Amino acid sequence: MLLPILHYPDKRLRTKAVPIEKVNDAIRFLIKDMFSTMYNAPGIGLAATQVNHHIRLIVIDTSEDKTQPLCLINPEIIEKDGELEWDEGCLSVPDYYECVTRANHIKVRALNEQGEMFELEAQDILGVCIQHEIDHLDGILFVDHLSKLKQRRLLEKTKKSQK
């Protein structure tokens, strides 16, 4: 089932997500729906916050052929280093792209769909995507990393297009 994606400046995007206590069938159904929604959009990452579920869950697939789905439940970055600039976009901020500085290399710890703990090292687009989606879980949008002037212009543009 496709889920509606919240769009900036919807205040629900600022909600801090809570940890998932137990990985059960309801969570697995949500994961399936989130992947369907992300692929349909189309996008490479989606946080539960973006579909109005305020739990610590993200889905990602940065592969060209959409064959490498990755699910991170209760993700936390445990190491990061370096610096990388990447042109980012967001399903919650359609048709808007800006260069954002992130860590170049990260190590993340999370649970998988079976509730098993794992660690993953990532860099380049996968590392950027994980950091971007974890930001969503903390109520942060990629536009928050931009200058106040760019934020104000985007907000004005968004409000005009919503009228």
- What are the E-state strand segments in the chain? 45-47, 57-60, 70-81, 84-90, 93-102, 105-111, 117-123
Whether 98 is a known active-site residue: answer no
105 bridge partner residues: 81, 123
Among residues 76, 116, 133, 156, the one annotated as catalytic is 133
* Number of residues in the chain: 163
What whole-number distance in Å separates Cα of residue 17 and Cα of residue 57? 9
What whole-number distance in Å separates Cα of residue 68 and Cα of residue 112? 14
Euclidean distance between the first and the last CA atom of the chain, given in angstroms as a whole number = 29
Catalytic residues: 133
